[in-house]
Amino acid sequence: MAVERLSFESASPHTLFACAQAHRYELAASVFRGQAVVDLGSSFGNGSRVLSSLCHPVLGVSEDAAETDLASATVGRTAGVDFVNDDLMVFLRRGMPSGFDALVAYELLDRLSNAETAVHELRRHAEAGLPVLTSITTGDSDAPIRIARVKEWFDGAPNVRFLHQYEAEGSVIESGGQATGGSDVTVHHRGEPDYATSLIVAMNIDPEVLAAGNTAVLPLRLEPLQRRYMRSLELANRELRQANARLGREHLGVADSAAASLLRRAQTSDSSEAIPAEGTRAKAELDAWVASLELEIERHRELVRDMEETRAWKLLSRYRGVKSQLSRILPGR
């Protein structure tokens, strides 16, 4: 199963995908605090940057030369992380560089064509005593099958433990322990392990560290309201309510929101009671007013859609996303 990688432009804490990946790396940074860590499959270096907050040194390994160059120019310069371009399976078979204590290989099994071979190499490193964290994205309909298969692959590996990650308006990683260290995290309902978003595999890691409790990350994003568009809708709706109330009072003696409906039923009724001519005129006037307001609302919607489809708008959105990311990676720029 191919998995989408977190690109440089999409590395924002305001998406569930970015939040979940950052959460995994925060777990790894906490587990490997103070150790020298290899981030295998580092891509643009977003996870390596998180690792560098608590681990040193950090070495990022990516198969893509362009990703490596960009990571070196951004995260490498600001966070002191080294990045190398290398084949991931070749790197695994060759062995860990001298001086590095732990291996993080998140989503490695998603990206390699032969996942079982990668599992064999990861287990080989673990059997040599290396602490390892890896993960796999479970998919949707076939999640239980994928999770069962991965657990079978790692069955009997040294000190293996499985952590289940869920998306829950953010990201939740359940270790199986009880929440500790305050009241920041309260899990009201346990997730279903067979339907976790990601399965994290830990080998040769202190169980007490992993069982410290459940952790959660909730992204919060605030944006200015599109006030001009919303104000136009509010004014149109207000005019509609006023017209509805006026016509209802004049012709039916009803001034609430049911006036137009009552008027329509009265004008189309099969009753033998005579329908005043002014009622027919009122109905036509009301229908025309409603139609004009609906056209005005649709016109505003089309203006917004046309604006969002322009090349300038798309380029501006892309520029803002890159600028926002660079402002976090390169403080002061």
Least confident range from 96-105, 115-124, 197-206, 289-298: namely 289-298
Position 151 scores a pLDDT of: 94
- Nearest 5°: the CA angle 303, 308, 313 is 125
314 versus 147: the higher-pLDDT residue is 147
- Asked if pLDDT for residue 180 goes beyond 50, the answer is no
Cis peptide bond N-terminal to 276, omega within 30 = no
pLDDT at residue 98, as a whole number: 93
Whether residue 55 is predicted with pLDDT greater than 90 in this model: the reply is yes
Task: Give CA torsion, residues 9, 13, 19, 21, to 10 deg.
Answer: 40
Query: What is the per-residue pLDDT across 183-238, written as a single tens digit (0 to 9) for each?
Result: 455 555 567 888 888 899 999 998 888 876 556 665 554 455 455 666 677 778 88
Residue 9 has pLDDT above 50, yes or no: no
- Kindly report the number of other CB atoms within 10 A of residue 205's CB atom: 19
- β-bridge pairing 171-174 and 102-105: unpaired
Helices (H), 128-175: 143-153
- Among 25-34, 40-49, 252-261, where is mean pLDDT lowest? 252-261
Whether omega for the bond prior to residue 57 falls within 30 degrees of 0, making it cis, is: yes
Say which range, 93-97, 188-192, 243-247, has the weakest mean pLDDT.
188-192
- Cα dihedral 65, 84, 27, 159 in deg (nearest 10): 120
Per-residue confidence (pLDDT) for residue 64, from 0 to 100: 92
The predicted structure's pLDDT at residue 242? 80
* pLDDT at residue 271 tops 80: no
311-329 helix and 277-309 helix, angle to the nearest 10 degrees? 60
**Residue 252 pLDDT greater than 70, yes or no:** no
137 three-class SS: strand
Q: Three-state DSSP class for 274?
A: coil
Does position 253 have pLDDT exceeding 60, yes or no? no
pLDDT mean over 244-255:
65
- pTM summary value: 0.60
Report, as an integer, the average pLDDT of 148-158: 94
Q: What is the mean pLDDT of the chain?
A: 78
Check whether 322 has a pLDDT greater than 70: no
Helix (H) or strand (E) holding 122: helix 115-127
In this predicted structure, what is the pLDDT of residue 314?
66
Q: Are 21 and 120 in contact (CB under 8 A)?
A: no
Note the pLDDT tens digit of each residue in 189-198: 567 888 888 8
The residue-averaged pLDDT of 141-160 equals 91
What is the average pLDDT across 291-298? 83
